[in-house]
Amino acid sequence: MKVTTYDSYTSDCRFCEIYSTSSVKDIADKILYESKSFYVIPALGCLIKNYIMIVSKRHINSMCYLSTDESNELIEIINKFRSMFKEKYGFYPIVFEHGASITDANRSACCVMHAHIHIVPYVISRQEEMIESLRMNDVDDFGELFSLGYDKPYILFINNQGELYFKDCKNDALPSQIIRKWIAADMGTPDVWDWRTNAFEKNIESTVLELKPLIKSEMKPNDYRLKYVYYCRAMDGFNPDEIDNEYKYIEEKLKEQGRVLVNPSTKTEHNLKMNKTNSKLVVEENLNGISKADCVIVNLSRKNHLYVGCIAEMVYAKERGCYIIVVVGDSGADNHFYTIYHADKIYKKLDDVFKDSDWQKSC
């Protein structure tokens, strides 16, 4: 078995940056699921709603450079998502990889030199024609293909029935994103196959909205990392400097735990006049922050305060499958139906949140 040693972080690689960065730049970078060696994100160029990619944390050019343990882990993840989509749609998704060689010299159908596998909830009506046209061969066990150290470009394809096909592209270079081209053509939109020019932002947003809560309820991996945190608290009636200092405190505490605050405090909101235009600006900015978060901390600790915005944010976070922590103080909010229904964890004091660093396992 040959395993490449080309596994270091590469600063100009989008997939390396998504996992290693200290912020979520775009909703397309939202990590929906994470295991020891892989993470799952919405596909950029999301032709179909709930089209996702499994990405290797190590910077390797294809899944054939996985270790045996990583290979077994990948197969388990693929099977989990195939089963989840079968339950949701009534059919299994297709799975494919445009595998690259260890060098940039021959990419063939691959366009991003970092191992990733596509999972698409779609049935290609011209599937047999595609397999014959690309001259793919059927294979008995795809577990044997991973961890081979196969230093040639290739295409791996698993159809809706779970049958595996493999194409060696060493002497038969294929166009970039060839399987995506077939999908786009089969959908009747042959010109939208390229993810670089057709991101399908609405499909990406819908994917995060639908899959995040589904993954949270059905999978719950033990080592899932609640990295990106959104903090919400009441603003009206408080000193802006006091609020700003609290956000800085939270940001520092999260940093100590290896977590990131996605909405560091700014005083912009305090300086805005209350009108329709500014309300839209503030709410959309807040909702965008929640969409990027894995976890939302909601501070309802002040007595006799009307937490309209905080409650709305808590509801929105629940819909997006975020892990929700509520700080209640002596407000009595822990005895409210909405708090009990939405919260994954309730604390009396904000400081207590940071004393319990492993929130999910503490439930």
pTM above 0.95, yes or no: no
Are 263 and 358 contained in the same domain?
yes
* Sole residue written with tokens 């309820």: 217
Query: Which 8-state DSSP code applies to residue 306?
Result: -
Could you tell me if 209 and 233 lie in one domain?
A: no
Q: How far is CA 110 from CA 11, 25, 99, in A?
A: 20, 24, 6
Query: Do 135 and 242 lie in a common domain?
Result: no
What DSSP element (H or E) covers 34?
strand 33-34
Q: How far apart are the first and last CA of the chain?
A: 41
CATH of residue 333: 3.40.50.450
Q: Distances in Å between the alpha carbon of 193 and those of 44, 172, 177, 184? A: 11, 21, 8, 5
Whether 334 and 255 map to the same domain: the answer is: yes
Q: Are residues 263 and 236 in the same domain?
A: yes
Looking at the structure, tell me whether residues 245 and 149 fall in a common domain: no
Domain membership flag for residue 2: no
Q: Is residue 264 part of a domain?
A: yes
Q: What is the pLDDT of residue 187?
A: 96
Residue type, 214: L
CB atoms within 10 A of CB 175: 10
* Cα–Cα distance, 311 to 296 (Å, whole number): 12
Q: 1 in a domain, yes or no?
A: no
204 and 298 belong to one structural domain:
no
Residues 192 and 277 in one domain: no
pLDDT at 227: 83
- Residue 118: what pLDDT? 97
DSSP SS3 for 297: strand
Q: Closest Cα to residue 309, out of 285, 293, 292, 291?
A: 285
Structural domain count, the chain: 2
- 363 residues of the chain, pLDDT tens digit each: 233 333 445 667 888 888 876 566 677 888 888 888 999 999 989 999 999 999 999 998 888 888 889 999 999 999 999 999 999 999 999 999 988 765 544 444 445 789 999 999 999 999 999 999 999 988 877 666 665 556 678 899 999 999 999 888 877 777 889 999 999 999 999 999 999 899 999 999 899 888 888 887 776 544 456 888 999 998 877 888 888 899 999 999 998 888 889 888 665 666 778 888 888 988 888 888 898 888 999 999 988 888 999 999 999 999 888 899 999 999 999 999 999 999 999 999 999 999 886 666 544
* Cα 113-158-19 angle, rounded to 5 deg: 35
- Residue 7, domain member (yes or no): no
One domain for residues 268 and 316: yes
Same domain? 211 vs 256: no
Q: Structural domain of residue 342, as residue ranges?
A: 228-362
| Residue 325 counted as domain residue | yes
**Domain end marker among 218, 250, 265:** 218
Any residues with CB less than 8 A from the CB of 245 and at least 6 apart, and which?
A: none
The domain boundary residue, chosen from 167, 191, 218: 218
Last residue of a domain, one of 218, 237, 272: 218
* Under 8 Å between Cβ of 331 and 311: no
Q: What is the CATH number of the domain that holds 163?
A: 3.30.428.10
My answer on whether 214 and 278 are in the same domain is no
- Residue 167 falls within a domain, yes or no? yes
* pLDDT, position 288: 85
Q: Which pairs with CB-CB distance under 8 Å and at least 24 residues apart come from 213-222?
A: 213/318, 213/319, 213/320, 213/321, 214/84, 214/88, 214/321, 215/32, 215/33, 215/84, 215/321, 216/321, 216/323, 217/321, 218/84, 219/33, 219/80, 219/84, 220/360, 221/33, 221/34, 221/35, 222/361
pLDDT at residue number 249:
93
Both 179 and 302 in one domain: the answer is no
CB atoms within 10 A of CB 242: 8
Please indicate, yes or no, if residue 335 is contained in any of the structural domains: yes
d(CA 100, CA 337): 53
